[in-house]
Amino acid sequence: MPPLARRVQRPAVRIATFNVNGLNARLTALQRWLEESRPDVACLQELKMPSERFPSEAFRAAGYEAIWHGQKSWNGVAILSRVGAPVERRRVLPGDPEDEHSRYIEALVGDVVVASLYLPNGNPAPGPRFDYKLRWFDRLLSHATELLAEGKSAVLAGDFNVIPTDLDVYAPERWREDALFRPEVRTAYQSLLGQGWVDAVRTLHPEERIYTFWKYLRNAFTRDAGLRIDHLLLSPPLAERLAAAGVHREVRGREKASDHAPVWIEIDD
DNA sequence: ATGGCTCCATACTGGAGA
């Protein structure tokens, strides 16, 4: 498509992902971000609350219908939409009936398959927690293949806990042995791309240093000592319509901020 | 290798995060 033709079209759908690091602690900041940026679809991670405490009324008041999968203290994922209620397809990543972490939820929003995922952190590595991360990643690879086979517009959005390349971390050498950066997880991430999934932010900004997470410690945000670990991966039919992508960095700089910033994309109609 | 910070639990301290 020629650039001019793209420019005159109106973006039809804006999809965002945001690891809120505790929905109770973040509700006010989250509501402010929703009012300001008005994403059509927002995928949330790290709710850190039981499902029965999810503040669905607060989101409805803001114009969003939601589906969610919480659990006490840890994990928890949700999908919000203001363009029609998300129609849930699954709330568990297939492949391990023993896995009780709430790290995956998937819905149809309009004609787009939307998945909100929170991949395990995996530290310390090596060890059982890292093994769990790799097993979870294998399950994601299997399911992602099946999603692509449907041929639909689809997005895998969330906190992948993967730093894809040296460009995605402020100090690569310090992170080599970390569970977010070890070769095994980078290879798994590359396998997703190899299947045909498109990393929206990196595709539109191939050379730019873009971060989505900064530790709370040691003024990491002020020093811009960040990582890019929150991603939106698009199936080919959706990637064809990708118009813009970025990070709402300013949200990370506010009072009572999450340690992650929202990541967003715009999809042409 | 550790600690710095923030969240959650039923807590005055510890686990997890990344």
Residues A124-177: tens digit of each pLDDT: 999 999 999 999 999 999 999 999 999 999 999 999 999 999 999 999 999 999
Tens-digit pLDDT profile for residues A82-131? 999 999 999 999 999 999 999 999 999 999 999 999 999 999 999 999 99
Nucleotide nearest A71, CA–C1', reads B8
pLDDT of A263 above 80:
yes
- Residue A189: count of CB within 10 angstroms of its CB: 24
Nearest CA to A244 among A268, A212, A266? A266
A266 touches strand B (CB under 7 A): no
Would the pTM count as exceeding 0.85? yes
**3-state SS class at A214:** strand
Residue A25 (CA) to nucleotide B6 (C1'), in angstroms, measures 10
| Average confidence (pLDDT) over A211-229 | 97
The active-site residue, picked from A40, A64, A104, A159, is: A159
Confidence label for A269 from pLDDT (cuts 50, 70 and 90): confident
Q: Please give the pLDDT value at position A3.
A: 57
Q: Give the C-alpha separation, A166 to A169, whole Å.
A: 6
Which residue from A62, A49, A109 is spatially nearest to A85, judged by alpha carbons?
Answer: A109
- Rounded to a whole number, what is the distance in angstroms from the first to the last CA of chain A? 13
